[in-house]
A = this chain, B = another copy of it.
Amino acid sequence: MIETLDARRTSEQARDLGIYDEDGFVESAFLSRIEDLVEAENAPTLKSLVEPLHESELGDILETLDNEPRQGLVRLLGEDFDYSALTEVDEAIRLSIVGAMPNPQIAAALGELDSDDAVYILEDIEEDDRKEILAALPFRERMRLRRSLDYPEESAGRRMQTEFVAVPPYWSVGQTIDYMREDEDLPTSFAQIFVVDPMFKLIGAVELDRILRAKRLEKIDEIMHDTRHAIPAEMDQEEAAQIIEQYDLLSAAVVDRDERLVGVLTIDDVIDIVQAEAEEDIKRLGGVGDEEISDTVLTAVRSRFTWLLVNLATAILASLVIGLFDATIQHMVALAVLMPIVASMGGNAGTQTMTVAVRALASRDIDLRNAGRIIRRESLIGLVNGVLFAVIIGLVAAVWFQDAGLGQVIAIAMIVNMIAAALAGILIPLVLDNLGADPALASGTFVTTVTDVVGFFAFLGLAAWWFNL
């Protein structure tokens, strides 16, 4: 929902109220005050303290509080609790708050919210409860929410707002302005109005500043423009966000299969989607899936376990490679001392290339067909850095173990592994992407498997051959 600025709800007041410290964290003094008031069951003072807050401020407070005072706060606020704050908190917290409420109370609260916020809260609630809540809503609300919920998860239809202004093309600018002045059932705030035919088929749109600059007698169809960026309700939210972002739109019409206008996707939803997708990439690259900081220990253990298990398998694979050369190591323990260096440098270089590749894929700067240039570039970077670090580590090893041959062996192994790292770092994400897998999710494991195996094999194998062990 696009929000009109409201004098009562401002960050400066929030600062006056002492909610945030200078680093932007929720002030601990403010939190203690809330905790004390909840403890004392002092509902009136709590209400006066929380009432001027913006939904996002209340959301921050809910996230920072421990579970008990959080539930107490919601309970004491009762009808004065601003349910849109639920759209600002992690899923686990949202579900624990909603789970503690009777369904009729949730229904009454959802009726007050914009449709996109209501859907956001409803979609995580379990089937049975959801049905009961929907049944308790007025007919029109129920139909609106059901329609949104019928669209697939993470689709534009789920994120759209179903409140919008639509007028026929033959209206004049004056008529349109008068309609907006008189109609009570308008969205809280909007940046453009839509033009539809009698069947509600979308035929155009007009930005508000265009209407303000037009003469009262001009017809809407003279000042409207085509809406070719209209978004099918089934479209994935990420794709929809990319369109709005690429064309710098303030909002876009969402249409059903018959091209009828069913909702509007606004740019502030796009920011949330962009944030969520970037967050997803970072977490997947770090091997923590979709984990949130408020997830329970059990959930986190489970989601991380899978990733660590895959890593264990690849680590054992690397150990098998080392095991091939146990006799060599026994003759020359220096190899055991130095071998992690080759593997570690390869792992890091491979991660660098992979990070660049994953980002380039996400922003569609490369794909398999035009990848030649990037592959050459990364190989060259790998070669140059490989040679530089070969010289450094070669000298270090030769001096450390007083053995020029060992220096030469590790130098060559370093070059080999740095080139392998570059190739693995670019090719693995490209192939995964081409197979339809998310390159952010799985590339890391495969890349470090390659650099470990190649690193150990090149270094130990070369040493075995060189020293005839």
Contacts and interface: CB of A to CB of B under 8 A. Distances in A.
Interface centre among A60, A344, A364 (most CB of B within 10 A): A344
A355 B225 contact: no
Interface stretch (A98-106, A123-131, A137-145, A305-313): A305-313
Contact of A340 (B23, B286, B385, B452): B452
A147 interface: no
A323 B337 CA distance: 6
Q: Sort chain A's interface into a size bin.
A: 35 or more
Contacts of A212: 177, 180-181, 208, 211-212
When all copies of this chain in the complex are counted, the total is 2
A283 interface: yes
B267 A352 contact: no
A356 to B, nearest CB: 6
A283 B355 contact: yes
Contact of A4 (B5, B210, B297, B367): B210
A329 B9 CA distance: 67
Contact of A5 (B54, B225, B360, B366): B225
Interface stretch (A42-50, A153-161, A376-384): A376-384
B210 A7 contact: no
A398 interface: no
Contact of A213 (B186, B282, B392): B186
A68 interface: no
A318 B293 contact: no
A189 B214 contact: no
A198 interface: no
Interface string A247-278: 11110000000000000000110110011001
Question: Which of A6, A181, A308 has the most B CB atoms < 10 Å from its CB?
Answer: A308
Interface in A271-299: 271, 274-275, 278-279, 281-283, 285-288, 291, 293, 297
A360 B286 CA distance: 13
Contacts of A56: 246-248
A3 interface: yes
Nearest to A305: B385
Contacts of A286: 285, 351-352, 354-356
B293 A365 contact: yes
B308 A385 contact: yes
B25 A364 contact: yes
Interface stretch (A33-41, A73-81, A226-234, A461-469): A226-234
Q: Is the interface of A mostly helix, strand, loop or mixed?
A: helix
Interface in A332-352: 333-334, 336-341, 343-345, 348-349, 351-352
A329 B340 contact: no
A287 B72 CA distance: 44
A330 interface: yes
A290 to B, nearest CB: 11
A64 interface: yes
Contacts of A389: 308, 312
Contacts of A215: 181
A442 interface: no
Contacts of A281: 278, 282
Contacts of A305: 385, 388
Nearest 6 pairs of A and B residues by beta carbon: A286-B355, A278-B278, A10-B228, A336-B336, A208-B208, A12-B228
Given A191-B209, A286-B356, A329-B333, 8 more contacts: A181-B215, A191-B250, A245-B268, A282-B358, A288-B352, A318-B344, A326-B337, A340-B343
28 contacts: A2-B248, A3-B248, A10-B247, A24-B239, A24-B242, A25-B367, A63-B365, A64-B365, A177-B212, A180-B213, A190-B209, A191-B191, A250-B250, A293-B359, A297-B377, A297-B384, A300-B381, A301-B381, A301-B388, A304-B381, A307-B348, A311-B348, A322-B336, A322-B337, A329-B329, A329-B333, A330-B333, A344-B448
